Amino acid sequence: MRIALLSDVHGNRPAFEAVLAAIEGAQVEEMWCLGDLVGYGAEPDACVALAREHCDVCLAGNHDLVVTGDIPLSDFSPSAAAAAAWTQETISDESLEFLRGLEPEDPEREVGLYHGSPRDPVWEYVLSPWQADECLDLAEARVCAVGHSHVALWFQRDADGKVDGAQAPADAERDLSTDEWLINPGGVGQPRDLDPRAAWLLLDTGSWAATWKRVEYPIDEAARAIVEAGLPRVLADRLYRGE
């Protein structure tokens, strides 16, 4: 099966639409979102509507869960809390109902899916080999996909227990047909790997080939929407830097 994996849309409609256009040309059979449809961006309803239309699987991220009231605002940084409070005030009842029906993990598929990690589906940022090693110990699936960190990356554990990993630049390819893997498609709406382009991952579970993708999108449009909504300007400025 050819699957498009994506994560961390964060209310950035222009980035989400650019990724969806790229995915359409890739002839995928399913699209899986690893959470955080809403968050730092200014168009939460548009992003939820696009996910409802296009995604076959959608997880809940921590920013989705704070908007639904399952996580307190006090758990977030000031700028993230400001965006979450604004989203709570502006999001439609229909979008809120959709978010309330999501879970932060779906571990029983051929690919284990988690917003954060197998160890902590909501909060853990998996950014080091030792974290990936401990998370793979808890995973039932041989290949797991996570989001949350906004960083495109991969970790591999071989038959001897050695763990290797690295960030995945645009067009990076990995053969996942052997060993254990933990992969992250990167962020659609707010990448944090110093590449401001929207990120997603093409996974073929027939050949177990993974290819990381990047897409240009109109950052000015997304940034302007954030500023016009009265959200912290840092949330707009960081889009240009990919951080």
Tokens of 239: 């889009």
**Arithmetic mean of pLDDT, 171-185:** 98
**Arithmetic mean of pLDDT, 41-58:** 98
CATH number, position 49 = 3.60.21.10
Q: Please report how many Cα atoms fall inside a 13 Å half-sphere around the Cα of residue 237, on the Cβ side.
A: 4
**Arithmetic mean of pLDDT, 110-129:** 97
pLDDT on residue 8? 98
Q: How far apart are CA 49 and CA 181, in angstroms?
A: 31
For 68-80, what is each residue's pLDDT tens digit? 999 999 999 999 9
Structural domain count of the chain: 1
Range of the domain at 110: 2-241
Q: How far apart are CA 232 and CA 239, in angstroms?
A: 13
* Kind plus residue range of the DSSP H or E element containing 185: strand 180-185
Model pTM score? 0.96
For 195-228, what is each residue's pLDDT tens digit? 999 999 999 999 999 999 999 999 999 999 999 9
Question: 67 and 38 in contact (C-beta within 8 Å)?
Answer: yes
